[in-house]
Amino acid sequence: MVKRVHNFSAGPAVLPVEVLLEIQQELVSYKGKGLSVMEMSHRSVEFQAIMDDAINDVKSILNLGDDFEVLFLQGGASTQFFMIPLNFCPDDKVANYINTGAWATKALKEAAKNGKQMHVAASSEDKQFTYIPKQYTISENPAYLHITTNNTIRGTEFKTALDTGDIPLIADMSSNIMSKSIDAKKYALIYAGAQKNIGPAGTTLVIIRKDMIEKINPGLPTMMDYNTHISKSSMFNTPPCFAIYVVGRVLKWILAKGGLEAIEKINIEKANYVYDILDNSDFYEGTVVMEDRSMMNIPFRLPTEELEKKFIAESKEMGMLNLKGHRSVGGCRASLYNSLPMKAAQDLAQFMIEFEEKNK
């Protein structure tokens, strides 16, 4: 068995070793066909089956029916930032956003760049995005309300879906997609870059409730129009075939684990290994309001920047990589996505205890 490090990267992130080994076996000759998925025509019967399986497994995991469309697009979540207002905010409507951090900020700025009327319904910027706003105010004539369900950089997370009534709720779930049980039917549109929790970089999962299709603005550029991709089942142009194939394998892995209820239990246990250290130490300091802490991304500080540099360097020597905090906030951060083994969280907790004992 090849030696594996503990990869706490916020993305591209760790993938299940079982999936990687399966891909390795099929890399040169997929199912004995004599060619790789990377070489396969997206119009082939074989790739159509890969795409169909991935779509069906998304719906199965999230308990969605035929009233939702599942797409695999390119351009990352960043492309969705401007596709959403282009498609769903007509000139007489207002795009509403809850601002909970860097990615939410980027999303709402794209709405403004596109000349859309834009309203910030709530924001946690007043406390450096260390909490989730509990109250929000919707504008008149709202087109939708957009939220970012998990803040990768700051480490906050919406714990439940908002009840927005008839106002379409749109969510960037890039950092916590399929990490816990959710009522996906409450969302008019969900999107998520694959590279954090469900696959490699290169494809973006987009789930659209079918009643939203009739709301799409006319006259959009072909590739920016969701109708283009819905009508061609994500294959108007050549899709990111290999990335979709890997996502499909990760979805099978989630199902084999027992689905989202089982995954959530594992993720809670992993996160608690680290949070228990933060909650019982005056050496480490968590940076997020307790009730809003993310299971996926755990930022923390040490008493000095010098100690943080030492912590990151020594953890790397111990085979624990990517524990440096985002460059915009500093400190340390552990990302505990679905595919991170339990042992990685256990080893990190033990290292944190030992590092404190040596450096306090």
Q: How confident is the model at residue 12 (pLDDT cuts 50, 70, 90)?
A: very high
Query: Span 175-200, mean pLDDT?
Result: 97
Kindly report, residue by residue over 116-131, the tens digit of the pLDDT: 899 999 999 999 999 9
**Full set of structural domains in the chain with CATH:** 19-256 (3.40.640.10), 258-359 (3.90.1150.10)
User: Does the pLDDT at position 115 exceed 90?
Assistant: no
CA distance 203 to 354: 40
Query: Span 268-284, mean pLDDT?
Result: 97
| Side-chain-side CA neighbours of residue 163 (13 Å) | 0
Which residues are the active-site residues? 103, 172, 196
Please report, for residues 239, 333, 356, the alpha-carbon distance to residue 9 in angstroms, rounded to integers and kept in the order given.
Answer: 26, 9, 22
CA distance 305 to 307: 5
Query: Span 242-269, mean pLDDT?
Result: 98
What's the whole-number average pLDDT of the chain? 96
Query: Span 242-263, mean pLDDT?
Result: 98
Share of the chain above pLDDT 90, in %: 96
Q: CA torsion 14→18→20→23, rounded to 10°?
A: -150
pLDDT at 360: 84
Query: Span 262-279, mean pLDDT?
Result: 97
Strands 142-148 and 94-99: parallel
43 conformational bin, left if phi > 0, alpha if psi -120 to 50, beta if neither:
alpha
Q: How confident is the model at residue 136 (pLDDT cuts 50, 70, 90)?
A: very high
pLDDT at 1: 60
Q: How confident is the model at residue 114 (pLDDT cuts 50, 70, 90)?
A: confident
User: Does the pLDDT at position 324 exceed 80?
Assistant: yes
Cis peptide before 12 (omega within 30 of 0): yes
CA distance 102 to 148: 10
Q: How confident is the model at residue 334 (pLDDT cuts 50, 70, 90)?
A: very high
Kindly report, residue by residue over 53-103, the tens digit of the pLDDT: 999 999 999 999 999 999 999 999 999 999 999 999 999 999 999 999 999
The tokens describing 170, both together, are 């749109």
Do 288 and 154 contact (CB within 8 A), yes or no? Answer: yes
CA distance 171 to 82: 13
Whole-model pTM: value is 0.96
Nearest to 175 by CA among 344, 355, 296, 349: 296
Angle between helices 342-359 and 259-279 (to 10 degrees): 0
Q: CA torsion 113→114→115→120, rounded to 10°?
A: -60
Angle between helices 76-88 and 102-113 (to 10 degrees): 40
Question: b/e map of 8-29 (b: 16 or more CB within 10 Å)?
Answer: bbbbebbbbeebbeebeebeee
Query: Span 150-156, mean pLDDT?
Result: 96
Q: Reduced to 3 DSSP states, what percent helix, strand and coil does the chain have, rounded to the nearest 5?
A: 40, 15, 40
pLDDT at 278: 96
CA distance 108 to 138: 14
pLDDT at 3: 84
The tokens describing 78, both together, are 């960043």
Classify the C-alpha dihedral 344-249-206-39 as positive or negative: positive
